[in-house]
């Protein structure tokens, strides 16, 4: 099992179970805000991961970053999971709404539950309204894998982890994933 990234708090830390506080819009763009965004982006890229929410670096704020630089590398990923490349987004004070009622199930993991994964049902398509790094309103609409990331990161801001939503019989170490196929 690979070690967790030193910046990422692990399950059991109370900050992961608290509803994060709204970001004061006056705080956006301050050196302290920019420093937190940079820390989250650097941590996400080093981990490596496709999203990091502020509570995961120990800060109870309604913000997350997401980016998928590896999407589309793998034909199966691109087709089955609908995993395209996603440019970096900084998402502040988000609201999230499902689009349609289609539910999809795939394995997912979490940097704060290092070394494990499980099947989690998620909305296939979602819309997120938020502020960006400059405090400008943004609207993101994604389906497939990026929609899953958005729901996962949004959940972090509510104090919810994927283990609260998983099909618990599928919970597995990453090493044991796929043993069913042998």
Nearer CB in complex with Zn ion: 133/152: 152
- 118 phi, psi to nearest 5 deg: -160, 160
Tokens 């490596």 — which residue? Answer: 48
Binding status of residue 47 toward Zn ion by CB under 5 A: no
Cβ atoms 47, 5 nearer than 8 A: yes
Q: Minimal distance in Å, beta carbon 109 to Zn ion? A: 8
135 or 170: whose CB is closer to Zn ion?
170
**Beta carbon nearer to Zn ion, 28 or 157:** 157
Q: Is 110 in the site for Zn ion (CB under 5 A)?
A: yes
Residue 156 CB, nearest approach to Zn ion (Å)? 6
Burial group, residue 130, by CB count within 10 angstroms (0-12, 13-18, 19+): buried
Near Zn ion by CB under 5 A, which window of 79-87, 104-112, 137-145, 170-178? Answer: 104-112
Stretch touching Zn ion by CB under 5 A, among 6-14, 67-75, 94-102, 108-116 = 108-116
Distance CA 182, CA 177 (A): 11
Whether the bond into 96 is cis, omega within 30 of 0: no
Stretch that binds Zn ion, among 8-16, 21-29, 78-86, 107-115 (CB under 5 A): 107-115
Q: Which helix (H) or strand (E) holds 77?
A: none
Residue 106 in contact with residue 81, Cβ under 8 Å?
A: yes
Please list, in sequence order, all residues whose beta carbon lies within 8 angstroms of the beta carbon of residue 136, skipping any fewer than 6 positions away.
Answer: none
**Sites for Zn ion among residues 5-44 (CB under 5 A):** none
Residue number, 110 or 150, with CB nearest to Zn ion: 110
Total residues in contact with Zn ion, by rule CB under 5 A: 1
Residues that bind Zn ion (CB under 5 A): 110
């Amino acid at each position: 099992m690979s070690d967790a990234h030193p910046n990422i708090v692990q399950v059991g830390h109370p900050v992961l179970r608290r509803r994060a506080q709204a970001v004061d819009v006056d705080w956006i763009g301050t050196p302290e805000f920019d420093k937190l965004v940079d820390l989250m982006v650097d941590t996400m890229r080093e981990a490596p991961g496709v999203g990091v929410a502020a509570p995961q670096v120990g800060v109870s704020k309604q913000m997350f970053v997401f980016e998928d630089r590896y999407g589309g590398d793998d034909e199966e990923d691109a087709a089955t999971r609908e995993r395209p490349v996603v440019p970096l987004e900084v998402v502040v004070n988000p609201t999230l709404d499902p689009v349609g009622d289609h539910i999809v199930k795939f394995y997912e993991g979490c940097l704060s539950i290092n070394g494990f994964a499980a099947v989690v049902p998620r909305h296939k398509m979602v819309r997120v309204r938020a502020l960006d790094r400059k405090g400008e309103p943004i609207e993101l609409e994604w389906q497939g894998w990026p929609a899953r990331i958005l729901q996962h990161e949004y959940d972090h801001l509510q104090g919810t982890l994927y283990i609260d939503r998983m099909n618990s019989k599928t919970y597995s170490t990453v090493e044991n994933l796929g043993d069913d196929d042998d």
